[in-house]
A = this chain, B = another copy of it.
Amino acid sequence: MYPSKQRQLVLRQRPTGLPTEQDIELAEGDVKPPQPGDVVIKNLYLSLDPAQRDWMNDAVSYLPPIAIGEAIRSTTLGQVVASESDALAVGDFVIGLATNAWEEYSTTPAEQLEKVDNSEFPLHYHLTILSGAMGLTPYFGMLKLGLPAPGKTVLMSAAAGGVGSIAGQIAKLHGCRVVGIAGADEKCQFICDELGFDDAINYKAVDDLTAAIAEKCPEGIDIYYDNVGGETLDAALLNLAQGARVVFCGAISTYNADGPVPGPFNYWQVLAKGASVHGQMNLKYADEYPAAIEQLKAWVRSGELKFAEHIVEGIENTVDAYRMLFTGGNKGKLIVKIADPD
């Protein structure tokens, strides 16, 4: 059972800089009736991911821009409340990777959703560490593109964030020395003391990030995991070891820029160091999602993988919360709880 009307966060205009309530409005909309093969999902948790900021622009990316007047595309965790598919039943918990939206009810083809077995872990773990941006992104980014191995030096950007904190721990689990970059002493302490990183740099407390990286990575960086782009990427490029691999997972420092953003000024270092840059696209590994999730569960179960969640309550607080991603206000994976399960 579902209502005919719902609350949605609708894109009214393309943001310049940080999204505001003028750009994204909480409005009343229809719940779309299911077609054959669809289910209606009551969303319980919304995922807040940097990539969404890119989808708000009118730009060529791996998914089309969100159209003006549409709800903000999102990964959500929810419960099936009506089903026109044999694959899912009312009451099932499901996650949809970028298939749903910031709204109370999403109507989605069942084949695009994954059923969640919530018997072992708290429900929201399935939206944070066990799936989506916080789980699968660092898993595939580090293991398929970074190729961690004992003795390698890893530099992790946005190391206290959802992706960086997990990618760094996965590198540690594979024998690497891992140095994290974060924007506060307290975050640096968190990644070293609680997550087991070897060292950390508070980029806001250093004058010369290139020199600070050189000091912490005296033999150069073998794997640079890039979540941020911009000046941090440029500083990392000047410290690459021969044959280094750059995992290009995101560029959060540039998402709110006004106008075209140039690539790194030190792009030449990719040639000078015989290095490589690998753009991350999880969809390539869709066949391996179940195995990846099993591995993540095993690491969470054993306590080898630690993580932080930042849970905001109420759909009306979503845009406010979203801005925290870019101002550094959150610690750990940011999600919004908008309803309880039936």
Q: Identify the A interface with B (CB < 8 A).
A: 59-62, 238, 242-243, 248-251, 254, 260-281, 283-284
Contact = CB atoms under 8 A, between A and B. Distances in A.
| Dominant secondary structure at the A interface | loop
Contact of A273 (B62, B268, B274): B62
A223 to B, nearest CB: 14
13 contacts: A60-B238, A60-B269, A60-B272, A61-B268, A62-B272, A251-B271, A260-B265, A262-B262, A263-B263, A263-B266, A270-B279, A276-B277, A277-B277
B264 A271 contact: no
Contacts of A284: 243, 274
A274 B281 contact: yes
Nearest to A263: B263
Contact of A281 (B62, B242, B265): B242
A251 B263 CA distance: 14
Given A62-B271, A262-B262, A262-B263, 9 more contacts: A60-B272, A62-B272, A62-B273, A62-B274, A250-B271, A251-B271, A261-B265, A263-B265, A264-B267
Contacts of A238: 60
A276 B274 contact: no
Contact of A274 (B260, B262, B280): B280
Nearest to A271: B279
A62 B278 CA distance: 21
A280 B269 contact: no
Contacts of A283: 274
A164 to B, nearest CB: 16
Contacts of A280: 271, 274
A278 B245 CA distance: 9
Nearest to A267: B263
